[in-house]
Structure formats: C-alpha cells, structure tokens
Amino acid sequence: MKTDRLPKFKRAVIKIGSSSIATSGGEVKLSFLKDLCQTIKELNSTGSKVILVSSGAIALGRPLLKCGIAVPDLPTKQACAAAGQPMLMKQYVREFQSLGLTAAQVLLTREDFKDRSRYLNARDTFLRLLELCAVPIVNENDTVSVEEIRFGDNDSLAASVAGLTGADLLILLTDIEAVYDADPRKHKDARALHLISKVTEGMISSAGEAGLIGSGGMKSKLKAAKTAQQFGIPAMIAKGGAETLALLREGKKAGTWIEAGGDRLKSRKRWIAHALKPSGEIKIDAGAAKAVRHGGRSLLPKGVIGIHGKFQRGDMVEIKCEEAGIVGRGLVRYSAGDVEKICGHQSGEIKSILGYSCGDEIIHRDDLVIDK
C-alpha cells in the first residue's frame, strides 16, 4: 500500500467502528484494543493528543441481553447500548491504566451541540481532559437519545467532535482498507482511491452501506469526511487493524487520505455549520446565490423566492438555489411566515410590510456558512 508522511498534528479524533472493536459474537477484540491503546499512548508521548470515538456498546450488549445480531428497533438498541457501554469502558479503563493513562467517558447527543452554551461547555471539558493527559472516550448517549436528537452513527459524531475541539486530523477506522470507486464487496474490479481532494455527493451516493455489526458504512464515513473538509480538517479512512496502527505510530498515512477543504471555520461558524439541525429551507434565485457564495454578501429578502418548513427567528435553515444547489446554511432573523411576506422585496420595505424590523438581512453574513 502506498503511504507517505502524516502532517504533524496536535489533536486528532480517532473513530473506531463496531466491526473493528467487537466480534460478531459480541466479544471485545482484545488484541486490537491493546494495540490501539498502545498507539494512543505513543502518539500522546510525542505531543499529539487523541480523542477516541468508540462504537461497540450495542455489539457488546446484544449477547448480554440475548438479542440477535440484527437488532430490530431503537428501544432494543438503546437497551443493548445500556448493557454494553459499561463493558466497553471497563476494557478501555483497564488497558489504559496498565499504560499509565486515565480513560474518561464522554457521552453526547446532538442536543449537546445544538445549544450554544452546552456546546462551549463540552468543548472546554474536552480541552481540560487533554490538558490533564486523560484520553476522552466518546460515544453517543444511545440510552436517552430519541430519533430527533440522534447522530445515528459515530462517524458523524466523530466529525462533529473534531469540529468542536478544533482537531487537526480525523481518522476513521473501518473494516475496509480504503475508499474504492465502487463497493469492493460487490465489484471485484473496484479500485482503491488513496487520495481524495474533494468529497462529492456522487461519491457518497455510490458508497456502500453498513454491515450487520455496525451502523455506519462507507457512506457515513464519506459524509463525515465531507464535514471535516468543511471544517478545514483533513481525514483518513483506513482499515482498523494492526497494520494501520503500526503506520500511525510511524507517522505514516494509510488507506485513503482526504485533503482539508480550505480555511478553518471559527468556532461559531463550526457550530452553525454542523452542530445544528436545519429547521427549514430558504429558496433563492441565481443572482442571490452568486452574491452570497462568491460576493461575501448577506442574504437579503430581494433574492428570496420561497421557503420550505416552519422555522422561527434564530433557527438554522439551509439556503438552496435551483441552479446552484445547496448554497449554505445560517441563522435566520425572521420567522418562516415573515420571510414569506418580505421575500422579493427591498430591505427598506421590511418595516412597512411587517410593522417592525430585525435588520436588513434575512441572514447576516456573520451567521452564514457557505457550502463550497
């Protein structure tokens, strides 16, 4: 496998999939876990701090509750997670203690990212844990998550944690060696892609889904890598095995390297971009799309041609254009009903139409993140 040097990083998020950490029978792969913990210790000793996002709780909980491999519904998955999470942490605590490190459990839901104060508090907790030389071990709080506030897969969670903590690198370890131009389990002539400059929607739509043990699959990993690109963070997708861990200890790349997308977003814009779930859509014309995307402009009512969904002032909405696709997302200054009334009008007409004004912009540039 072709490799080259990893860029030097101060902080990385490593995500381990269920298939890497647990057998189909619901047992921990101890050899891999020991190798993983040793790798994190060695990275820490060089000044490269690691946050670990670990799946596996549901897989470990299934046999304890005598459930089959295919867990059919959310309540059963939550029950399996509740039984399996202590078992998973027990193994991590024991192994890190043997290496002189402290493991710290962090359970999150999307709600922890949605509220700005909780978001900042979570970030401060992560950074203090790293300062204290602990290894944060993150999982979704499946036991209390309902569908509306779930990440759904730990790949998305890992990308969000990378943005939250200002990580320099996102590493997604899975059961496939790299990203391929087709599903290698179905196409024998599939070609491995060792370098991706930009994750496209076409790549994501053609990627494979999850197997029986995990909840992600290559599709979710590419989505997570695209999120990381939007944060200005490079990502690596590789097989979760001894060979990859050895390369990491040597400071080398493995699998597929996905380049960073550009300038790193500031904390507030990272929060807007990916911590919040869209409450609706604002549809704009091509002229407004050009002004917002390339002209550095705020979104004004003149360029709005319609809305979708019910949103309130302060909610996050997606901005779409029929010709340009998704333009971006941002915090709206007017409710859906008010936007319907002022769309297509000049900013100076807002007060006469609504009887009040919250500003000339429907979304101010400072509250707007562009999808490049």
Claim to verify: residue 301 and residue 365 sit in the same structural domain: yes
User: Last residue of some domain: 269, 299, 331?
Assistant: 269
Residue 258: its pLDDT value, please? 95
Task: Say if 5 falls within a structural domain.
Answer: no
User: Last residue of some domain: 269, 303, 319?
Assistant: 269
Task: Say if 326 falls within a structural domain.
Answer: yes
Q: Which of 192, 164, 175 is nearest to 264 (CA)?
A: 164
Look up the CATH number of the domain holding residue 97.
3.40.1160.10
Claim to verify: residue 256 and residue 300 sit in the same structural domain: no
Task: Say if 274 falls within a structural domain.
Answer: no
Claim to verify: residue 229 and residue 84 sit in the same structural domain: yes
Task: Say if 80 falls within a structural domain.
Answer: yes
320: how many CB neighbours lie within 10 A of its CB? 19
Give, as one character, the DSSP assignment of residue 348.
Answer: G
Taking the mean position of all CA atoms in its chain, how far away is CA 74? Answer: 21
Claim to verify: residue 315 and residue 336 sit in the same structural domain: yes
Number of domains, the chain: 2
Q: In what order do the strands lie in the sheet containing 325-331?
A: 304-308, 281-284, 316-321, 325-331, 368-370
Claim to verify: residue 325 and residue 262 sit in the same structural domain: no
Task: Say if 1 falls within a structural domain.
Answer: no
Residue 149: its pLDDT value, please? 41
Claim to verify: residue 284 and residue 355 sit in the same structural domain: yes
CA distance 1 to 161: 29
Residue 299's alpha-carbon distances to 151, 188, 278, 290, 323, in angstroms, are 29, 48, 17, 11, 17
Helix (H) or strand (E) holding 159: helix 154-165
Residue 134 CB contacts under 8 Å (≥ 6 apart), including other chains: 101, 102, 103, 104
Task: Say if 62 falls within a structural domain.
Answer: yes
Claim to verify: residue 238 and residue 362 sit in the same structural domain: no
Specify whether the CB–CB gap between 186 and 143 falls below 8 A: no
Task: Say if 219 falls within a structural domain.
Answer: yes
Residue 152: its pLDDT value, please? 66
DSSP code per residue over 39-62: HHHHHHHTT-EEEEEE--HHHHHH
Claim to verify: residue 66 and residue 114 sit in the same structural domain: yes
Report, as ranges of residue numbers, the positions in the chain whose pLDDT lies below 70: 1-3, 71-72, 142-152, 208-216, 262-265, 267, 275, 372
Q: Largest Cα–Cα distance of the chain, in whole Å?
A: 70
Domain that holds residue 196: 11-269
Encoded tokens for 65? 């509750």
User: Last residue of some domain: 216, 245, 269?
Assistant: 269
Claim to verify: residue 83 and residue 133 sit in the same structural domain: yes
Residue 135: its pLDDT value, please? 97
Claim to verify: residue 69 and residue 38 sit in the same structural domain: yes
Give, as one character, the DSSP assignment of residue 109.
Answer: -
Residue 145: its pLDDT value, please? 59
Q: For residue 141, with 0-12 CB atoms within 10 Å meaning exposed, 13-18 middle and 19 or more buried, which class applies? A: buried
Claim to verify: residue 79 and residue 213 sit in the same structural domain: yes
Residue 206: its pLDDT value, please? 74
Look up the CATH number of the domain holding residue 356.
2.30.130.10
Interhelix angle 74-98/57-64, rounded to 10 degrees, is 110
Claim to verify: residue 243 and residue 327 sit in the same structural domain: no
Task: Say if 290 falls within a structural domain.
Answer: yes
